[in-house]
């Protein structure tokens, strides 16, 4: 057996093998072949890998200040995080958008921002200061809520059956026969 290996090592095939395969491993090693992959990935949705850092940011923004992180709370937060990411993917899939003019109309028709039945910029600013937020975050949140509402209306609305199908089913259920 060893004699066959020695004979092979003297052949041209062994030298080609050495140059093509062995030499790069000696000089450069395996590199990130084993290190990449799913090292810092918490979930993968439709080939989109979501990093643990995003989940950490989600925990920081959605956990009450004095709450203790235990296994149940982390499970609940992870479930909420994944469900939000799935909803975002569905919104992207159905290409649901909210234009700036629509967002403006939504904000201008909010009762909290009205003074004498007219939109008041000062009431809007007071609301933002009172809730410790800025306009960009608030408007992004409102846009996301309306996109989710449109998605749920799209999914929950279903398909309206035609009148002949309704009548056929009604007749099928309410038919009577005399023997």
Domain boundaries, the chain: 2-33, 38-93, 96-179
Taking 60 as the threshold, does the pLDDT of residue 33 lie above it?
A: no
pLDDT bin (cut points 50, 70, 90) of residue 148 is: very high
Q: Which of 61, 35, 73, 140 is nearest to 53 (CA)?
A: 61
Q: Cβ neighbours of residue 80 under 8 Å, at least 6 residues apart?
A: 58, 62
Taking 80 as the threshold, does the pLDDT of residue 72 lie above it?
A: yes
pTM of the model: 0.62
Q: Which of 148, 139, 38 is nearest to 84 (CA)?
A: 148
99 in Cβ contact with 106 (< 8 Å):
no
Average pLDDT over residues 82-89: 94
């Amino acid at each position: 057996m060893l004699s066959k290996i020695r004979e092979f090592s003297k052949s041209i095939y062994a030298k080609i093998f050495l140059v093509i395969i062995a030499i790069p491993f000696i000089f450069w090693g395996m590199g990130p072949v084993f290190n990449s992959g799913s090292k810092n990935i918490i979930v993968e949705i439709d080939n989109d890998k979501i990093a643990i850092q995003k989940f950490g940011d989600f925990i920081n923004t959605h956990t009450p200040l004095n709450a203790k992180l235990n296994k149940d709370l982390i499970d609940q937060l992870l479930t909420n995080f994944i469900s939000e990411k799935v909803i975002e993917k569905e919104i992207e899939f159905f290409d649901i958008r909210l234009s700036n003019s629509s967002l403006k109309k939504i904000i201008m028709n909010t009762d909290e921002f009205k003074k004498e039945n007219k939109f008041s910029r000062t009431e809007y600013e007071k609301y933002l200061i009172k809730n410790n937020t800025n306009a960009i975050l608030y408007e992004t949140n409102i846009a996301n809520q309306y996109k989710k509402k449109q998605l749920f209306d799209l999914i929950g609305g279903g398909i309206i059956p035609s009148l002949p199908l309704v009548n056929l089913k009604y007749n099928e259920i309410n038919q009577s026969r005399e023997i």
